[in-house]
């Protein structure tokens, strides 16, 4: 995926998902790739949903990550939340992958980008 989401038309809505992964278990050598595969599948799936505007994601080597996805409306976010495959991935995230997470829904009111004019 492209790292930067295009600055969408405002107002739009952001889902800010902050998470800490469980330390990798040596007894589950494929858990990383299973997570990565699911994460990529969720990005592909999200981008096929109505109202999807973009996604940005970063994860530090210590397992702490932030993903921000952008949507045209709160209804689009609700539809994405209840999408069947996404729902299954959420369940697996809760039971297997995430030690802790915070999820915040926010209405984006202003946006800037840079640097310009250097």
What CA–CA distances, in Å, run from 35 to 5, 45, 116? 22, 15, 37
Question: Given the rule CB under 8 A, which of 23-31, 39-47, 107-115 is the region that contacts its own copies?
Answer: 107-115
> What token pair was written down for 79?
């539809």
CB of 36 to its own copies, least distance (A): 13
For its own copies, which is the closer residue by CB, 65 or 83? Answer: 65
Length of the chain: 118
Q: Are strands 64-71 and 52-59 parallel, antiparallel or unpaired?
A: antiparallel
For its own copies, which is the closer residue by CB, 59 or 83? Answer: 59
Q: What is the residue whose two structure tokens read 């739009």? A: 12
31-90: contacts with its own copies (CB under 8 A)? 56-61, 64-66, 68
> What token pair was written down for 8?
């969408």
Closest CA to 103 of 80, 113, 88: 80
CA distance 33 to 115: 35
Residue 18 in contact with its own copies, rule: CB under 8 A: yes
Interface size with its own copies, residues (CB under 8 A)? 39
- The residues that touch its own copies, with contacts defined as CB under 8 A, are 3-5, 7, 14, 16, 18, 20, 56-61, 64-66, 68, 93-95, 98, 100-115, 118
């Amino acid at each position: 995926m492209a790292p930067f989401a295009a600055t969408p038309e405002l107002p739009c809505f952001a889902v800010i998902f902050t998470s800490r992964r469980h330390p990798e278990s040596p007894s589950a050598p494929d858990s990383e790739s299973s997570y990565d595969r699911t994460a990529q599948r969720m990005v592909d799936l999200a981008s096929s949903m109505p109202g999807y505007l973009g996604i940005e994601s970063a994860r530090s080597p210590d397992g702490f990550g932030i993903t921000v996805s952008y949507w045209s409306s709160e209804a689009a976010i609700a539809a994405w939340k209840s999408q069947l495959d996404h729902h299954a991935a959420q369940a697996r995230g809760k039971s297997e992958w995430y030690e802790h997470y915070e999820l915040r829904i926010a209405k984006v009111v202003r946006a800037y980008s840079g640097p310009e004019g250097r």
